[in-house]
Amino acid sequence: SAELEVTVGDTKAEPQQTPAPQQPAATEQQQPQQPKARPQTPQSDNQTRQPSKDNDQAQVQPQQPADENDTSNWVKLDAPATGQGSAGVMYVKPYTTGKGSKLRIKGSGWTNAEGKGGSTVALKLNYLKDGKPAQYSRAGGHGAIDQYLRDNGKSADSTTWALLIPDAGKANPAQGLYALNPDGTFDIEIDVPEQLQTGKTGDYLSITAQSGRNAPNDTQRAATSKTIPVNGQAAAEYKEPENTDVCSPEGGDFSPKLKIENPTVEPGGKLHITGSGWCNPDDKRVSKIGLKIDDGSVSHNDATKVNSNRTIWAIVEPDAKTGNIDTYIDLPTAENTGLSGEELAKVTSGEHTLRLLTGSLRKGDRHGTYGGPEGDGGVNTKFVIGDYKPGADPASVPASQLGEGDRHGVSVEHNGKQLTVKVPEAEPGTWVKVTPYLGDSAQLARASKWVQLDQNRTVSYTMSGELPAADYRIVVQSGNQGENGKVLGWAPLHVAEATESTPSGGGTSGRGSVSPADQSSYDSAEPDVTIDEDGQAWDSSGNAVSVSTAPAPYQNAGVGYVSSSIGTSPASIAPFTSGTRSVVVANAKSKAASARKATSANGKSKSTGPVKNAAKKTVQAKAANDNNGNDTASQGGSPQAKVEHRVNGTELTGFAKWFANNANNLLMSLAGIVLLALALTFKKKNSD
């Protein structure tokens, strides 16, 4: 043992005996006392050691940076598919508050029902309001989400905080639209509400993901995550007051049924609904139903809302033991919607539908959608407020499959933006909707509203814009009660591309082209011609004509075709590989007419020679390519405007253009050379 005598100032300390085998610590007594090191992890606090005689170079080892792609401590959300399709999974990174901070989310498996593309996935952020989960609502700045939903025939929903879409070209992350990869994967950072950015540690935060409601043929999924840590601490999970009642539907039938007892009701009244079977067969508890009017196109105002999602018009809670429904639903009014004028009239009159949704209002409930315009789930929810008027648009039809027997005498007149349609087999006053179809694609932007036929069984309306050049089918569907969507007939409509020339017979004013009859007449015309020593062609009547030995030109160029429109007559159709023939490009009358029209500014003819000489000039029209990739002929100011050759809508230049013009001559020349070589060979053999 050793004795240590320490003097501090003028005070002398008594000798003390230190326990063996501790080393002398005179130097250590001169420093402030250091905290004891943690067992086995002496350097975990990132503190620098005090230098000592034995070790004056000790340093703390730097921590390894966290792997940004490590999701082991992220919150996982599993969303099983209801019906066809794959399950989806998400990982949500713990959130840290701060101005401008974002929430990172990764996912996989979010494909449509066929597995051939991404789903459309709505993301909703949940918080606690009055002790119960509620959803943050967008307050502007996310108009792109609403517009995308409306463009796809769906209702806007302010509680959709972010929307994952398969249309990458329409993504707009700044306004909440994010692209979902075709394989169903994504990795995004989303903006969060200001209340969350400025929140505190342990605030309640969870995320709900839904698919199958905002796109056709999508996989039905809906799931809510566990609480997400905020500043490292997760809030306690919300527990709904326990309902111990076992829900047993009458007769053991778990199929939801609904009946509207008063399908015709006065404006401002109440809708009486009854039903049965609203028990969840999985957990034997009663379902909690969210009810919407017209698929959510009607919303409560803030003062009367029953849910943070204002498109939920009512929450229906069936009998907890039987799953039966017997309740009354308030209808829209100015007071509970805040609407006025035409918007109010639209929701307070005419035909409407209810949509009943289960699965999102009670954890563990089955996910389902019932009613709506198509009566999903076998549930009819149509009702009428006041006088009848059709509400929702009819379902689209496969217009290309409509035959002659489906026309029913319908006729159509087209003038710019105006369409006038006559439906001779329908009664005056019939509600109809007129829709132009391009193939099987309904041109909804140029469809009519619900309108009634006049006494002449005719309806006329102004489209939002002119129809582009194409061949359409104008389909008329009924909106009468009980037959909404029934096809009353259709009529063909050809809209030709506008040209610089004045349209001739068969064309539509201002959209000039040629009729099919003119096309056929031109294609079949091939009069006898003779070629003189100067190379000029003459028909049997002695008129000068222009001929071509190239394959017959045609208007719509495709793969393996050369497109060329020559002259003022319409072009015919022939493949690039077709045989050659002499095609009369312009007859003598058109050439003589062109020659006579070629006058100078003072009205005198530019050509003083005989018409025969003028007719020797080949009158060619410049092929103009329209916006649809179709070639249309327009008369040029010069009687010798150049001809543009195109392959698959692309103009040929250089060698390709020269080859298109001279291919047949080359082939004939090569054939002549081969024949000459054969003749010489044959002659040589004979001479031998």
Q: Where exactly are the structural domains of the chain? A: 75-224, 250-385, 399-495, 527-600+608-652, 663-688
pTM: predicted TM-score of the whole model, two decimal places = 0.41
pLDDT at site 84: 87
Class at the top of the CATH hierarchy for domain 399-495: mainly beta
Distances (CA, A) of 411 to 397, 400, 430, 475, 516: 19, 17, 16, 10, 18
Tokens found for residue 236:
């306690």
Q: Give the three-state DSSP class for 590.
A: helix
pLDDT at 511: 41
Give per-10-residue mean pLDDT for the chain (688 aa).
40 45 44 46 41 46 66 94 91 96 96 94 93 84 82 83 94 94 96 94 96 89 94 90 84 93 91 95 94 93 84 95 95 87 88 94 90 90 91 87 94 94 95 95 93 95 93 95 91 78 34 39 44 58 51 35 34 34 37 40 38 37 36 36 42 59 69 79 64
Q: Find, among 126, 94, 93, 91, the residue nearest to 110 by Cα.
A: 91
User: Where are the strands (E) in 136-269, listed by range?
Assistant: 162-165, 177-179, 186-191, 206-211, 221-224, 257-260, 264-265
Q: 75-224 with 250-385: one CATH topology?
A: yes
Residue 634 pairs in a beta bridge with 622
CATH number, domain 250-385, options 1.20.1330, 2.30.29, 2.40.40, 2.60.40: 2.60.40
Q: How many CB atoms lie under 10 A from the CB of residue 440?
A: 12
pLDDT confidence of residue 220? 87
pLDDT score recorded for residue 412? 96
- Exposure string over 540-563, b if 16+ CB within 10 A, otherwise e: eeebbbbbbebbbbbbebeeebbb
* The architecture CATH gives domain 75-224: Sandwich (2.60)
Identify the pLDDT of residue 663. Answer: 63
CA nearest 18: which of 28, 10, 31, 33?
Answer: 28
Does an H or E element contain 522, and which? helix 516-524
DSSP state of 599: B
Contact 552, 573 (CB under 8 A): yes
Report whether 362 contacts 288 (CB < 8 A).
yes
C-alpha distances in Å from residue 135, one per residue of 128, 206, 307, 635: 8, 9, 9, 64
